[in-house]
Structure 1
Amino acid sequence: MHVHDTAIRHRAVSLLRGGARNADVARELNIPKGTISYWKHMDRAKHGECPGRPDAQCPRCDGRALDRAAYSYLLGLYLGDGHISHYSGHRVPNLMITCADDWPGLKNECERAMKAVFPDNSVCRVRKQGCQNIKVYSKHLHCLFPQHGPGRKHERRIALEPWQQSIVDAHPWEFIRGLIHSDGCRITNWTIRLVQGIRKRYEYPRYRFANKSDDIRRLLTDTLDAVGVEWTVLARGSDPFNISVARKASVALMDLHIGPKH
């Protein structure tokens, strides 16, 4: 990943402080617009000017209405490819979902879900090599994502609170889609069979999900059971980290509600 000179960063911040637009600064300095946006945010955070209204309300603390379907999807994304950080100098923590550049539709869906769940907060994209981090800052992240804690997710217990489970029960496909969009995929498998002595190649679609956390895999399989999708465990060696959906009827049901990433 390219590291920009400190003088260039100071020049960019100076231009932004002077009222220049992000796109104009990016064009003048030949730096990606996402990098300029990130520098602008870091400068605002340093001066106590983080995005987001100070009176932004929380569904848990203040009883604000919550887009439950969007939250169910965002929860799935968070459990797969998200984490919450609280950098030094920032007044509030940030939720970041990492989305690969191969899936532009996924980045758009993630951003829409964040904006729906946090309507009073700014959502931004930070470009990294091969991906973008979709981010939102809010002092209520721990209220909405109590699964946050020290260490990696697969090294600690992950369980949904009763209020989260009720949302997943009401919007199971959104939760499944979030998990598949983060740590899953739809692929085409093939096999060779002998038919009347002739070797023939057969292809068939399959959904796969891989995650080291036993708890997160169990959350997926429990929800698959609830919607009538049959699944199996694909163990590589002694590590049963892969969930597979390959039966024709179950794949068709997944195609109806999930579909391939895009």
Structure 2
Amino acid sequence: MRARALRARGSDIRSVARALSLPYTTVWHWCVDRPEPRMTGTAARCFRCSPDVGYPTDPAAYSYLLGLYLGDGHLVTTDRVPVLRIYCADAWADLVDLCDAAMKAVLANKVQRIRKKGCVAVQSTGTHWPCLLPQHGPGKKHERSIVLCDWQRRILTAHPGYFLRGLFHSDGCRVSNRVTVRGKAYVYPRYMFVNESADIMGLCQWALDLLGVAWRMNRRNSLSVARREAVTTLDRHVGPKS
């Protein structure tokens, strides 16, 4: 509202009323008697809805959480309150803590851990999760388009390593590759990322390019990072899951 905007810039009630050709009592009622209601709860933390925020307070945590969501996450919007769930395999105990911390850093006031067969579902209810994860939608991710919003692209461009960390912690791994050349065995580390969505695979490739990490597609749905310097770079940004 223009009246409140003028008041916020320091104009008094009489000056605002004169500028807008409105009665003094009307402007006073808008700006003093009925002030703008304050956001509370997760609404106050949603940087897409709160004019006082505008940008994630922890963009690295948001980048990491988005990577986890695109890999093993699911946003349920059919319930009374949206529920974000990210499934973390039991084999990676620290991953549950990392996911929990990222949710709390981005939006959640409370996070639950639900035991499943072979994994833990880390989940948080929040009205504003759909604001921060606009890639949600019906059906499987690889059966629909996954495209970043401009504001997401700006965040990830500044924090590609954290985004890759989320992707590799969900749908990737660091393995020891064994090859035999002229009868001699060699062992070297490499990273693998597997995802059925061509769009999500493209985002992984884009983030790797931002870091100057060489990669190649060894299968239609599988990406490999094997060059020594490339693996060293990913070790700095991604590292093991536990």
Q: Residues 15-65 of structure 1: CA distance to partner in whole angstroms, max 9, x if unpaired?
A: xxxxxxxxxxxxxxxxxxxxxxxxxxxxxxxxxxxxx94764421011335
Q: 1:111 aligns with which of 100, 111, 130?
A: 100
Q: Distance in 1 between matches of 2:148 and 2:73?
A: 16
Alignment of 1:175-254 (within 5 A): 175-194=163-182, 199-235=183-219, 240-254=220-234
Aligned partner (choices 70, 74, 91) of residue 61 of structure 2: 70
Structure index of larger Rg? 2
Q: Tell me whether 1:261 sits opposite 2:238 in the alignment.
A: no
Within 2, Cα distance between the matches of 1:53 and 1:230? 43
Secondary structure of 2:213 counterpart: coil
Query: What TM-score, normalized to structure 2?
Result: 0.79
CA distance in 2, matches of 1:54, 1:186: 36
Write the distance in 2 (CA, Å) between the matches of 1:92 and 1:58: 15
Of residues 150, 158, 179 in structure 1, which corresponds to 2:146?
Answer: 158
Match of residue 139, structure 1, among 116, 127, 144 = 127
In structure 2, distance between residues paired with 1:54 and 1:232:
41
> How many residues are aligned here?
200
SS across alignment from 1:188? strand
Q: Between the two proteins, what is the percent identity of the paired residues?
A: 51
Please tell me the root mean square deviation across aligned C-alpha atoms, in Å. 1.5
- Correspondence 1:85-104 to 2 at 5 A: 85-87=76-78, 90-104=79-93
How far apart, CA to CA, are the structure 2 residues paired with 1:71 and 1:185? 21
Quote the Cα distance in structure 1 between the aligned partners of 2:97 and 2:236: 20
Match of 1:81 among 63, 66, 72: 72
Q: Distance in 2 between matches of 1:146 and 1:252?
A: 33
Partner SS, residue 136 of structure 1: strand
Per-residue displacement from partner, 1:214-235 (whole Å, max 9, x unpaired)? 0000000011011010000012
Against the structure 1 CA distance between its residues 172 and 201, is the aligned structure 2 distance closer, same or farther, given a 3 Å change threshold?
same
Residues 118/214 of structure 1: CA separation in 2 closer, same or farther (3 Å cut): same
Partner of 1:174, secondary structure, is helix
* Shift in Å, 1:132: 0.6
Question: 2 CA distance for matches of 1:61 and 1:170?
Answer: 22
Q: Cα offset for 1:130?
A: 1.2
Gaps of 5+ in 2: 1-39
Distance in 1 (CA, whole Å) between partners of 2:41 and 2:149 is: 27
Work out the CA distance in 2 between the residues paired with 1:150 and 1:242: 24
Gapped regions of structure 1 (runs ≥ 5):
1-51
| Distance (Å, rounded) in 2 between the aligned partners of 1:115 and 1:140 | 13
